[in-house]
Structure 1
Amino acid sequence: MIKKKFLFLLFISFILILSACQKDVEDPLNYKLNSFSYVDQNEQRYGLNELKGKVWIADFIFTSCETICPPMTANMSKLQQEIKKKGIKNVEFVSFSVDPENDKPDVLKTYINKFNADSSQWHLLTGYTQKEIESFAMNNFKIIVQKPKSSDQVIHGTKFFLVDDKGIVKQEYEGVKQVPFEQIINDIQIVQNNAK
């Protein structure tokens, strides 16, 4: 009887030590995403169900963007390459188009092919209305997306977002200049370790 109690206490102590050792990203955002399912550049449905159990990086772009989107997409491609160089697996990339009326799947496919990206793990999403993406971005990622009637350019946030395997936004990072590639990679590894 004493031996069983001792083993039980030992087991509980082990669990407590393990949970104390598990660390999180610094100052996590912890935004829980609502379910979504849109259409990617291959005309396939893709959303939170397909991302379940995976760690992923998200951003918001559009293909006719004249300013920030090309460098953001180039930086995302660089991040993808750095992750592969380090041998980190099972990281998905998701770019939400903020101009769905113009960014049809074939347009998105042509766009991503310019950036030396692995599109098997990078899904560019469309298939919603302008109003839907504006609401989705604000409600889930806490960023503004707005298409003024007087312009063909769209106002939108420039952050990269790290999302964990349960669909929770853990952190955001600068996506245009001085992208903290090492910090993002480090945080991806923390989030992946926490998922095990």
Structure 2
Amino acid sequence: MKWNTLAGATLILLAVLIQPGVSLGATPAKPATVRVQLQDLPLLDQDGRQLRFKSDVIGDRLVAITFTYTTCTTICPILDSIFVKLQDKLPGRLGKDIFLVTVSIDPVNDIPPRLKSYAGKLKAKPGWSFMTGNKVNVDKVLVGLDMFSADILNHTPSILVGDGKSGVWRRFYGFPSADKLLAALNELSSARSR
């Protein structure tokens, strides 16, 4: 059983990596600027606090958002490791002017205690929120971010970087480096002072 899981995960990872422009170290030259519809629906964070996605989680903040689930063994650990590296590049900024958000695409199973444990395994620091909640609300949030997938096993590796204040959002497909994400966040931050 374990061999089949490992073999399947390896095949999926290889299939993702041979896509044009996708590798662990490279991403397409420019992220796509996208329109998102932030839903102001109540979700739950890893501490069980009810927060409205648009007004409480995003607000006027500079944010990077990833989409994973705790039992994923294929692309999610890679996306999570990118966020771990990104948080380490934000000393003094994480939770102050830049926020990280992970939205579970499996809200039925990823209840707050499970997300809290998962955040602990990743050594997530304050300023990195893990969101779940009522499946209907989570699905609506995912639809608004163009990240809904009826089959969570086949979700697209994608990270959104945006400015809740200006409404400018960029989507990185695949596995962008933490440095690329940080550069995009810094660019959005600089645009605020112009």
TM-score (norm 2): 0.72
Residue 175 (structure 1) shift: 4.9
1:48 alignment partner in structure 2: 54
Counterpart CA distance in 2 for 1:172 and 1:163 is 9
1:61-92 Cα distance to aligned partner (Å, 9 max, x none): 1101121111211111111111328x675111
- Out of 184, 191, 195, the position equivalent to 2:192 is 195
Q: Which amino acid aligns with 2:167?
A: I
Please tell me whether the aligned partners of residues 107 and 133 of structure 2 are also in contact (alpha carbons under 8 angstroms).
yes
Q: Where do 1:138-153 residues align within 5 Å?
A: 138=143, 140-147=144-151
Counterpart CA distance in 2 for 1:160 and 1:26 is 10
1:166 alignment partner in structure 2: 165
Q: Which amino acid aligns with 1:54?
A: R
Matched residue SS, 1:134: helix
2:84 alignment partner in structure 1: 77
Matched residue SS, 1:108: helix
Please tell me whether the aligned partners of residues 41 and 137 of structure 2 are also in contact (alpha carbons under 8 angstroms).
no
- Out of 91, 98, 105, the position equivalent to 2:112 is 105
As a proportion of its length, which structure holds more helix?
A: 1
2:36 alignment partner in structure 1: 31
TM-score (norm 1): 0.71
Question: What is the identity percentage for the equivalent residue pairs of Structure 1 and Structure 2?
Answer: 21
Structure 1 residues 106 and 73: CA distance shift in structure 2, 3 A? same
Please tell me whether the aligned partners of residues 161 and 169 of structure 1 are also in contact (alpha carbons under 8 angstroms).
no
2:27 alignment partner in structure 1: none
Structure 1 residues 90 and 80: CA distance shift in structure 2, 3 A? same
Deviates most, 179-188 or 36-45 = 179-188
Runs of at least 4 residues off by over 4 Å: none
Deviates most, 41-50 or 94-103 = 41-50
- Out of 99, 124, 129, the position equivalent to 1:123 is 129
Counterpart CA distance in 1 for 2:115 and 2:55 is 22
Please tell me whether the aligned partners of residues 33 and 167 of structure 1 are also in contact (alpha carbons under 8 angstroms).
no
2:156 alignment partner in structure 1: 157
Determine whether 1:95 maps to 2:102: yes
Counterpart CA distance in 2 for 1:141 and 1:154 is 18
Matched residue SS, 1:70: helix
1:7-44 Cα distance to aligned partner (Å, 9 max, x none): xxxxxxxxxxxxxxxxxx97532434232331000111
Counterpart CA distance in 1 for 2:40 and 2:116 is 24
Gaps of 5+ in 1: 1-24, 148-152
Q: Which amino acid aligns with 2:103?
A: F
Whose radius of gyration is greater, 1 or 2? Answer: 1
